[in-house]
Amino acid sequence: MKVSIQWLNKYVDLSDIGEERIAEALPMIGLEVEDVLKAGLVPLQNVVIGQILEFVPHANSNHLSVCKVDVGDGVIRQIVCGAKNFKQNDVVPVALPGATLPGDFTISETVMRGEVSQGMMCSARELGLGADHSGLLILTGKGFKLGTPINDCFPPADTVFDISITANRGDCLSHLGVARDLAAYFNRELKMPVPENIFARERPSGNASNEFLKVSIETPDCALYNAWTIRGVKVAPSPEWMQRDLLAVGLRPINNIVDITNWVMMELGSPLHAFDAAQIGGNEIHIRKASEGEKIKLLDGKDYVLSAEHCVIADAQKAMVVAGVMGGENSGVTDATTDVVLEAAWFDPASVRKTSRKLALSSDSSTRFTRDVDPTFVAVAGTRAAQLIVELAGGTVAGTPISLGDWPRADRMIEISGDYVRERCGYDVEDAEILDIFKRLRFAVTIEGDKWQVLVPAFRPDVDRPIDLVEEFVRIYGTTTIPSGAIDSPVLPALDAKTARFVAKANDLLVGQGFSECVHYTLRDEAELKKCFGETIAAALALANPLTSEQSHIRPSLLPGLLDALKLNLAAHNEPRRLFETGHVFRPDKSGALRELVSVAFVALAEPTTRNWKSREKIDFYFAKKLAFDLAARAGITEQRLLVEAVAAGTSPLWQPGHAAVANDRAKAVSIEMGLISPKLALDWDIEANVIAGELLFTSDTFKLADKVTKFKAFSTFPPVSRDLALVVDQSVSEGFVADRLKATATKATAKQFAVEKINCFDVYQGKGLPEGKKSLAFEIVFRSENKTLTDDEVNKVFAKIQLDIERNIKCTIRK
Amino acid sequence: MQEQLAAIVNEVETALVGIKTRPDFEAFKAKIVGGNGSLTAVMKQMGKLPKEEKPAAGKLINEAKRKIEAAFAATLAAIGDAELAARLGDPIDPTLPSPDDFEGRKHPLTQTREEICRIFSRLGFTIADGPELESEWYCFDALNTPASHPARDMQDTLFMPADTVSKDASKKADEAYVMRSHTSSVQIRTMLSGQPPIRIVAPGRCFRRDTVDATHSANFHQVEGLWVDKKVTLKDLKSVLDFFVREIFGTSVETRLRPSFFPFTEPSFEMDIKSQNLGALSGRWLEIMGCGLVDPKVFENVGIDPQQWTGLAFGVGLERIAMLVHGIDDIRHFYANDLRFLRQF
């Protein structure tokens, strides 16, 4: 909303306050100033009135003219000019050398294609007087004396505040509204426009027709409808003062009738509409729902197809206006119009919003209706505009004005006390100060002992509870005096959320391992999801209304983002090695319902891409496994609870079969994938190096478990005894399987005399000396007793039994 | 005997020169002083000597033994030194770079989040969380933002298809799911799952249907704050936020509460700061967060009696704070993950 200071001054005298103080005050009462603009002619030096005595075409140019110009100082100047819209003896503004025009454009004497040019004749835009740049600003016949400074010929420049109005302050979408707030803040008198008698608010009379017009409201979307028929108007440009006001607030003057409706809307905040009465078929107006598929061409020149949820203003045959949004081309005021029908109505904010949203069309009118126009002021605005039309465009109001419906809301009474205000504020303020501010806001207060009855006028729909009055008090009283002090915050028995604690631990672990943290967008594109995770997952994660196709889906994994980061940093020669990210990802479960998962993911290049004076061992799957399991342990999931399986061929495009694995706990609260990213897939990211990666996905159930306090377990003070055992098994048999069985066998063999402390695979061998298709797994079995030093004899007996039993328990042979 | 001893000593002294390893040494030593060693054999001869010859022989043997043991000790020391040298390898050049040139860093947004949470934890705020995929009721209705409110426009909010079901975000009725547009929904989930007094901060990711540019991002982060207690006032709001801002920006920072509008707070404010230490942004008012007192309607929506309880709430933009603190001029840096950016923090 653009607000002109000159216009504001009609309602509140701010002349002694100064623009800067106003600009500072507006945001502090909740009216955020987005920009401070100048409208009209700013003070210009060396720009004067001149006359073009004669002109000839420039010899070296087919679009320039060489002019002789008189600026009344007895010297005839030569000025080269590119404009075409002038004739001999035209009077124009002339910027002489030394002048600085808006935009910091300094004029000096120059030579243009061989001809001296001693200044510049100006267009309206060059002077900052408007948008017109089609030619020189012709001032012929206005009686300006040659040499007169240009500022003496135009009114002084205006300051215009571009204010951002929050959704609750529809009342400030008008000069009167902003003036009302500034009057309250600066404690000034509000001057209502004259004649004041038209500002008396009256409920609708119920008159539905006169000899010229018949109106019926046929939908609850319209609560009030007033119409005036004004006959015999002369459509012409509106007076200069009105054009100036409209231009200052960014509206284009059209003609006196349309300008009056716009001007009154900007003055009072109530949108109005003027019809050409001759175009109203049957002299009937119906406020009704549009019929399904009904078409209308609006004043923006576009065709719209309406549906039954939209409200229109129609005549006997056709829709003429989309109610509250925009008028149609078929019934607007034109130069040929002689009789107009002026409409002042109140439309339901929700209905106008819905229509405006559906048609993707917003207007000055819809902006106001959606913020709940003051219904008690609708007829006032109409009366104001009707008077201005009669005054400025001639004509007479014909018949009794139409006045239908009822106020959907009016002034409201709120009960409050000084104590209520003080309790919410937390600081002392006198009753009198609070009451004074209510009065300045034009809220009438009746005091009943401790209780106050505050009457809030209908122009403030946002104020309807005691807490709203507290806000009003604070807004005008000012926030700078709110004291800041000691904070009384007794300890509460609460802990940080478990997910937050886990993520912090995971971050610390990864950072300690040399990983740099990345943060990527949640929104990814469909093709990538399909490629990495398959059609089902991609389909489940589509947004209903994506803004762009690259950001059409929510992410199921952090790994594609991390591959992006690897790609970018490789390309930038940043020598990336280890990257990680934590965040929320989404996966459908078997039923198709979405799970929001906490993810921790990491990627690492198996070896550096840069040359190094010393090489290190490459990292591989087992690096990822160790890191992933350490991360799981920080969520309270121990290795014993995890079931690990190799990624089978054809199950995941992301991972390289034979070099990657998945792990789950039995409760399915965590799922881990780790290993080598498919080198073929990595090539899609232009990554030629081996990428070792891992991702842990936790459901919220993981973190619901109660915190377990670690209980100390005593350990043996006696030495361990170990025996080595190599087993030859089929190559396809996993070490985990053999180790589990060996542990069970050994534990049984000890018959609880002592413990099998550890089964450690220390060698995996296949090749020479072993049959085809077999491998040897060598284990160290560690025994220990809690209460004595084990003798060789005791251990040997058990070891012999293990050797005997293991060949029966699994398919294997002992390698001697 | 003297010749024998001399020969042994000579043999020892000669042979040891060529012995470089511990096993060779032990084998050789056994040949001399082992049970069947040459010196042992000579010593055994002692017993057969006449009594009067024994002292002289003993002296000779002791002399030889001393020499041999000294030679052994010297060789053993030399072997030990050689072994150590082998274990140590070449001496290092301390100026060579480490081949392990990776250094872990937390993302600047994480660092900023942790710093903010740490500051509020000193005032007794604990960390709460909630789903990013949120139901419209929790994201809007419960926060006093009815369906007709401009913030509910499809234009601004990312919606999930109507048939979406989320196991991690309960619905009130049959409302749609959205990608939450603010962390204020965590206020609702926290108040519904517990009883006042409540004092939480909820850091999290939010979404807007915005075109990405230097100041807009398809997702961004907020830290939501909520304090509900018997007598939480405007003065508390100012005090808490002043404390926070001074911890982040230093004690010389100026603050102001500028009246604004949010459906879920009344009164509502934007907090602005002005500091002389913000580079190009020094000396002017900068908006850093929305805040206010919890609207009584929000309390009613979650079954808390607004007569009995009052509250304050605020929402700080993580990117905004990180950009101001570090002088970052483009929000896209946070999401590009260029290590030349990340390694600076």
Which two tokens mark A179?
């003036």
Say if residue A281 is in the same domain as residue A364: yes
When pLDDT is averaged across residues A242-262 and rounded to a whole number, the result is 93
- Residue A439 maps to which CATH number? 3.30.56.10
How many structural domains are present in chain A?
A: 6
Interface residue B89 vs chain A (CB under 8 A): no
Say if residue A605 is in the same domain as residue A638: yes
Residue A75, exposed/middle/buried by CB under 10 A (0-12, 13-18, 19+)? exposed
Say if residue A791 is in the same domain as residue A643: no
pLDDT of residue A122: 93
Residue after which a domain boundary falls, among A353, A380, A405: A405
Say if residue A169 is in the same domain as residue A206: no
Domain positions in chain B: 2-88, 108-342
- Residue A512 maps to which CATH number? 3.30.930.10
Interface residue A499 vs chain B (CB under 8 A): yes
pLDDT of residue B75: 92
Domain span at residue A557 reads 498-704
Question: What share of chain A in percent tops pLDDT 70?
Answer: 99
**DSSP conformation class of A801:** H
Q: Report how far residue A161's alpha carbon sits from residue A38's, in angstroms, rounded to the nearest whole number.
A: 9
Contact B106 A486 (CB under 8 A): no
| Between B46 and A246, residue with greater pLDDT | A246
Task: Give CATH for domain B108-342.
Answer: 3.30.930.10
Q: What are phi and psi of A334, to 5 degrees?
A: -125, 175
pLDDT at residue A531 tops 90: yes
Q: Which of B155, B167, B212, B230 is the best substitution to test chain A (most A C-beta atoms within 10 A)?
A: B167
Interface residue B193 vs chain A (CB under 8 A): no
CB B295 within 8 A of CB B264: yes
CB A619 within 8 A of CB A649: no
Interface residue B240 vs chain A (CB under 8 A): yes
pLDDT of residue A377: 94
Q: Does residue A257 belong to any structural domain of this protein?
A: yes
Q: Report how far residue A690's alpha carbon sits from residue A682's, in angstroms, rounded to the nearest whole number.
A: 8
Residue A688, min C-alpha distance to chain B (Å)? 19
A residues 253-312 lying closer than 8 A (beta carbon) to B: none
When pLDDT is averaged across residues A381-404 and rounded to a whole number, the result is 95
Q: Does residue A484 belong to any structural domain of this protein?
A: no
CB A773 within 8 A of CB A733: no
pLDDT at residue A705 tops 80: no
Say if residue A424 is in the same domain as residue A550: no
Say if residue A456 is in the same domain as residue A530: no
Interface residue A648 vs chain B (CB under 8 A): no
What residues does A272 pair with on adjacent strands?
A: A344
Interface residue A596 vs chain B (CB under 8 A): yes
Residue after which a domain boundary falls, among A425, A448, A477: A477
Q: Does residue A416 belong to any structural domain of this protein?
A: yes
Q: Report how far residue A516's alpha carbon sits from residue A581's, in angstroms, rounded to the nearest whole number.
A: 8
Q: Dump pLDDT digits (tens) for B169-196.
A: 999 999 999 999 999 999 999 999 999 9
Interface residue B132 vs chain A (CB under 8 A): yes
- Residue A795 maps to which CATH number? 3.30.70.380
Pick from B121, B210, B239: CB nearest A484: B239
Q: Does residue A100 belong to any structural domain of this protein?
A: yes
Q: Dump pLDDT digits (tens) for A365-390.
A: 999 999 999 999 999 999 999 999 99
> How much is the mean pLDDT over chain A?
93
pLDDT at residue A174 tops 70: yes
Q: Report how far residue A28's alpha carbon sits from residue B18's, in angstroms, rounded to the nearest whole number.
A: 96
Say if residue A441 is in the same domain as residue A526: no
Q: Does residue A714 belong to any structural domain of this protein?
A: no
Q: Does residue A580 belong to any structural domain of this protein?
A: yes
> How much is the mean pLDDT over chain B?
92
Say if residue A531 is in the same domain as residue A675: yes
User: What ipTM does the predicted assembly reach?
Assistant: 0.89
Q: Does residue A709 belong to any structural domain of this protein?
A: no
pLDDT at residue A197 tops 80: no
Residues of chain B with pLDDT under 50: none
When pLDDT is averaged across residues A281-306 and rounded to a whole number, the result is 95
Contact B207 A583 (CB under 8 A): no
Say if residue A685 is in the same domain as residue A762: no
Q: Does residue A99 belong to any structural domain of this protein?
A: yes
Interface residue B104 vs chain A (CB under 8 A): yes
For residue A355, give the amino acid letter.
T
CB A639 within 8 A of CB A662: no
pLDDT of residue A706: 64
Say if residue A380 is in the same domain as residue A433: no
Which two tokens mark A724?
């080595």
Say if residue A684 is in the same domain as residue A557: yes
Helix (H) or strand (E) holding A402: strand A396-405
- Residue A235 maps to which CATH number? 3.50.40.10
pLDDT of residue A721: 95
When pLDDT is averaged across residues A442-453 and rounded to a whole number, the result is 94
Residue B110, min C-alpha distance to chain A (Å)? 9
Q: Dump pLDDT digits (tens) for A711-755.
A: 899 899 999 999 999 999 999 999 999 999 999 999 999 988 999
Of A14, A19, A364, A10, the residue nearest A158 (C-alpha): A19
Residue after which a domain boundary falls, among A152, A175, A210: A152
Q: Report how far residue A721's alpha carbon sits from residue A781's, in angstroms, rounded to the nearest whole number.
A: 8
Of B286, B293, B9, the residue nearest B144 (C-alpha): B293
Say if residue A246 is in the same domain as residue A137: no
pLDDT of residue B146: 85
Contact B218 A523 (CB under 8 A): yes
Interface residue A608 vs chain B (CB under 8 A): yes
Q: Are strands A213-217 and A284-289 parallel, antiparallel or unpaired?
A: parallel
When pLDDT is averaged across residues A134-161 and rounded to a whole number, the result is 90
Q: Report how far residue A766's alpha carbon sits from residue A88's, in angstroms, rounded to the nearest whole number.
A: 107
Q: Which of A543, A577, A590, A599 is the best substitution to test chain B (most B C-beta atoms within 10 A)?
A: A543
User: Which chain A residues are within 8 Å of B235, Cβ to Cβ?
Assistant: 425-427, 482-485
Kindly report the pTM of this predicted structure. Answer: 0.86
Of A141, A339, A144, A155, the residue nearest A231 (C-alpha): A339
Contact A518 B342 (CB under 8 A): yes
Of A157, A181, A158, the residue nearest A32 (C-alpha): A181
